[in-house]
Structures are given as structure tokens and as C-alpha cells.
């Protein structure tokens, strides 16, 4: 399995360029096209200060001009960051809701690369992972502000609970998992369910080995430590650069059987997080 097209959302935040670079790196190992995408919603008037700090009539920027400036800036960031990798490129943008526009364009891609929600991104230009996962019908790769350990050529961790979403996530992640050194299927189970959890995790490990992936089942006993902390402990132990999880979406991204781990990982994951539903 492979990815033929990687879509990356580009905003005006300070971490957009590294995100584009990562999307290009993933595309390069799969011979894929990188589709840069951005959207911004015209909102209230923006008063641009003069060089002396006061507002003047010529400093008034219309909502549409402000949104168009967002898109032009995002395209410059995209093309500059991608030019260093020399990958095949496409660019798409619109004066629209970012999540809605991305969801409509998702039909053109195998994987969508987005960033964690950061404070330096204006609300009208923000594409939140929750809304995208709920609407796009594609797996999303959520990239942290800084990527110390990348998802390519490193170890990966699958946060496993036997659900439709988790099974879907494993399948959607196969092209990335095939580039991993080793994959650990991690289930945090109570003592009474440990045997069942081990059997299920072993099945996933065998499935991955049949796809040529080095995989192991790791079942930990649930204790007083939070499930998020359990998972992050394994991530650190394995020096993983990728976490794969299933995500349930209704009106919002609901907690799955790991409790609140999905929400916590979306906000704080130190490595790339692949979610699918």
C-alpha cells in the first residue's frame, strides 16, 4: 500500500513551514504529490496601525483583503518550504471556512496533514483537527509544533482498543507503518481482561507482519496512572515517532474506550499522531 497524494493545511502560524516539509518528506518516500491547501473566512474589519502606532484611514483593511492576505502568505510559505524538497506540488485555496473547504477537497488525497491548535493562528484561518476528522472522511496526521522524532524510519506505537475506528486507523496507517523500524501494538487492560487484550493485540501484530512490518504486542495492566501517561511512557520507551489511534466523531470528537486519551493526545502529543474514524 502507498499514498499517492498528501494534503497539507497551511496557515499563518509559525510552525506551518516545518509541517509542509514533513508532508513533502512523506510524499517523497511514496512518490506522491503534495497538495497545499489554505482557507480563510472574511471577518470583522482589521485596523492596521501606521508606523507611528496610530490608525489612519489608509490603514483600514477590509475583511476580504485580510483573508486574501492570509492565503497569499500561506502560499508563499508552502512554495518556499516545498521548494527545498523538490516534490510535485498543487495549491488550492478559498475564502471559506478552513474545515469545510478542507473536507470538500479531501476527496483528492489519501492523507491530510494538519497542525495542533496553536495560539498564534487567527481563528478565521484555523483548521482544527477535530472538525477535519469529523468531516473529511480521510485519516489525518496531526503534527506537533516541533518534531524531534519523525514518523519515517523510526518506531511507531498503535494505541489499541478493539473497535471499528482502531481497525480503520491501522489500515489507513499502513503506508507509514511499513516505513517504521518496529511497531508496538499497545493495549492498557484491567487484570481480568488482560488475556483477551493480549489475544487481540497478537492478532494485530500478526496482521502487520503479513504486510512485512516488524510488530509486537504490548499489553500493560491498568493501574492508578492515567491511560494517557501509560501510552506516553511506552512512546518514550520505544523512542517512537508516530502514534496511531482510532477516533470517534459525532457532534464533536468523543472520548473513546481509552477515556479522555484522544482529547489529551490531540492537545499534547509530543510526536505525530495519526487519527482515523
Tell me the domains of the chain and their CATH numbers: 5-143 (3.40.50.620), 155-276 (3.40.50.620)
Stretch 214-236: mean pLDDT:
90
The residues that bridge with 219 in the sheet, in sequence order, are 187
Q: Identify the pLDDT of residue 251.
A: 47
Q: Identify the pLDDT of residue 253.
A: 42
pTM: 0.89
42, 48, 65, 70 from 56: Cα distances, Å: 21, 8, 17, 22
Q: Identify the pLDDT of residue 59.
A: 58
Regarding predicted confidence, which is higher, 58 or 236?
Answer: 236
154 has a pLDDT exceeding 70: yes
> Residue 126 — very low, low, confident or very high, per pLDDT cuts 50/70/90?
confident
Regarding predicted confidence, which is higher, 88 or 57?
Answer: 88
139 has a pLDDT exceeding 70: yes
51 has a pLDDT exceeding 60: no
52 has a pLDDT exceeding 50: no
Q: Identify the pLDDT of residue 43.
A: 77
50, 152, 209, 250, 260 from 130: Cα distances, Å: 38, 24, 31, 10, 14
The three-state (H, E, C) secondary structure of the chain, written as one string? CCCCEEEEECCCCCCHHHHHHHHHHHHHHHCCEEEEEEECCCCCCEEEECCCCCEEEEEEECHHHHHHHHHHHHHHHHHHHHHCCCCCEEEEEECCCHHHHHHHHHHHCCEEEEECCCCCCCHHHCCCHHHHHHHHCCCEEEECCCCCCCCCCCEEEEECCCCHHHHHHHHHHHHHHCCCCCEEEEEEECHHHHHHHHHHHHHHHHHHHHCCCCEEEEEEECCCCCHHHHHHHHHHHHCEEEEEEECEECCCEECECCECHHHHHHHHCCCEEEEEC
> Residue 30 — very low, low, confident or very high, per pLDDT cuts 50/70/90?
very high
Amino acid at each position: 500500500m502507498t499514498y499517492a497524494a498528501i494534503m497539507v493545511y497551511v496557515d499563518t502560524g509559525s510552525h506551518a513551514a516545518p509541517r509542509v516539509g514533513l508532508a513533502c518528506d512523506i510524499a517523497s518516500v511514496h512518490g506522491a504529490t503534495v497538495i497545499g491547501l489554505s482557507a480563510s473566512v472574511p471577518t470583522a474589519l482589521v485596523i492596521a496601525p501606521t508606523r507611528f502606532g496610530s490608525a489612519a484611514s489608509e490603514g483600514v483593511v477590509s475583511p476580504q483583503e485580510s483573508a486574501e492576505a492570509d492565503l497569499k502568505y500561506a502560499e508563499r510559505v508552502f512554495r518556499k518550504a516545498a521548494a527545498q524538497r523538490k516534490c510535485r506540488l498543487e495549491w488550492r485555496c478559498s475564502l471559506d471556512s478552513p474545515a469545510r473547504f478542507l473536507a470538500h477537497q479531501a476527496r483528492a488525497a489519501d492523507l491530510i496533514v494538519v497542525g495542533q491548535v496553536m495560539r498564534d493562528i487567527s481563528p478565521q484561518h484555523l483548521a482544527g483537527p477535530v472538525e477535519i476528522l469529523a468531516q473529511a472522511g480521510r485519516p489525518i496526521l496531526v503534527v506537533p509544533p516541533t518534531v524531534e522524532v519523525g514518523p519515517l524510519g523510526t518506531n511507531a506505537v498503535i494505541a489499541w482498543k478493539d473497535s471499528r475506528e482502531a481497525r480503520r486507523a491501522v489500515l489507513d496507517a499502513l503506508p507509514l507503518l511499513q516505513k517504521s523500524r518496529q511497531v508496538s501494538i499497545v493495549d492498557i487492560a484491567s487484570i481480568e481482561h488482560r488475556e483477551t487484550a493480549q489475544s487481540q493485540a497478537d492478532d494485530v501484530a500478526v496482521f502487520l507482519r503479513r504486510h512485512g512490518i516488524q510488530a509486537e504486542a504490548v499489553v500493560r495492566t491498568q493501574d492508578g496512572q492515567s491511560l494517557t501517561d501509560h501510552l506516553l511512557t511506552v512512546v518514550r520507551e520505544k523512542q517512537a515517532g508516530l502514534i496511531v489511534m482510532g477516533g470517534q466523531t459525532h457532534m464533536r470528537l468523543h472520548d473513546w474506550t481509552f477515556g479522555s486519551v484522544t482529547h489529551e493526545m490531540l492537545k499534547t502529543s509530543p510526536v505525530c499522531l495519526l487519527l482515523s474514524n
